Structure 1
Amino acid sequence: MFITVLYGDNEHALFNIFCKIPVLLDCIKQNCHREIKAEIDLADESGQVKNLLQNQHCYASDILAERAVYILLGVNTKLGARLDSLSQPQGKVKKIHKNSASPSPSRSSTTDGKQNTSPHGKCKNTSTP
């Protein structure tokens, strides 16, 4: 199981994803021909960031697709923390009342209180043998 990581000026490298995410990120830093001191992450070809730093307890194969191509990104940790805080729902979900001709209070509707979780936000398999 491997991925291709694009970096630099039209350069690429293959990496095994059957390992924990911190190990993969360290290997990427070491093998991309420059010393990267900032945090890194990967994005797929459509631009979706994989948020590997938030899933460091997972195996990379749980988050990344086998034989896929990813783009190496440098991550500003302050910006990443700010984006995470903005993406989290703030407070309780409010009820939405529809105006109706009937005075009956049973004609109000509420929004679904469930949070939509991305498949990249949690490990697929967290059980250990």
Structure 2
Amino acid sequence: MFIAIKFGDDEKLLFNPDCSPKILLDNIKRRCRVPLQADIELLNEDGELKNVSQCMQERDACGIFTDRGIYFLLRLEKKDGRVTHKCLLNGFTESHPHLAAKLEDLSSPKQCESRPTSKDKFSKMVKRTSRAGLITSSTSKIKKLRDSGKTTSRVK
């Protein structure tokens, strides 16, 4: 799998997203000559912001992208609590006016649209059970089993 990123004077580079999103973003910054401290994002040809920087918990970035997709490199600029997106492809507004209009409408990034991680599922489960007051530690279950004289290798 690979993706193409457009930037600069109609430059296009290929990247392999089969790595963590952090490594991918660092590699994009280095190869596209963007300062490492800058915040960047990617916009696909349909005008969807990919929000890679908000998906850092993912093991790899493959699920965020379409194979052989073309993406535009954006720089995020924060002013007065508002996030603005600037495309780093020279002449973007003239060459892609429909995408430039969508980009102008974006005021802040959306939540990560990738599948939830097991850590997220566990935290939701803990929140649900703690609200119901049903959390008991496994050690107390083991003690109860020991006290009752039952021995089992599996505690439910």
Number of aligned positions between the proteins: 94
1:45 aligns with 2:36: no
Q: For residue 9 of structure 2, what is the aligned residue in structure 1?
A: 9
TM-score under structure 1 length normalisation: 0.62
Unaligned residue ranges in structure 2 (runs of 5+): 85-106, 120-156
Once the two structures are overlaid, the 10-residue window that deviates more, 3-12 or 49-58, is 49-58
Residues 38-117 of structure 1 mapped to structure 2, 5 A cutoff: 38-58=38-58, 59-77=60-78, 78-80=81-83, 83=108
Residue identity over aligned pairs, in percent, reads: 34
Match of 1:114 in 2: none
Contact residue 55 and residue 121 of structure 1 kept, 8 A: yes
For 1:62 and 1:79, how far apart are their aligned partners in 2? 28
State the shift of 1:14 in Å: 0.4
Two-structure CA RMSD over aligned residues (Å)? 2.5
Report the structure, 1 or 2, having the larger helix content.
Answer: 2
* Superposition deviation, residue 36 in structure 1: 5.1
Provide the residue aligned with 1:31 in structure 2: 31
**Superposed displacement of residue 127, structure 1:** 5.0
Matched, 1:126 2:117: yes
| C-alpha contact 1:62 1:125 (8 A) present in aligned 2 | no
Q: Which aligned segments of 4 or more residues in structure 1 are displaced greater than 4 angstroms?
A: none
**1:40–1:75 contact (8 Å) kept in structure 2:** yes
TM-score normalised by length of structure 2: 0.52
* Change in 2 beyond 3 A, CA 1:11/1:76: same
C-alpha distance in structure 2 between counterparts of 1:51 and 1:80, whole Å: 13
How far did 1:3 drift? 0.2
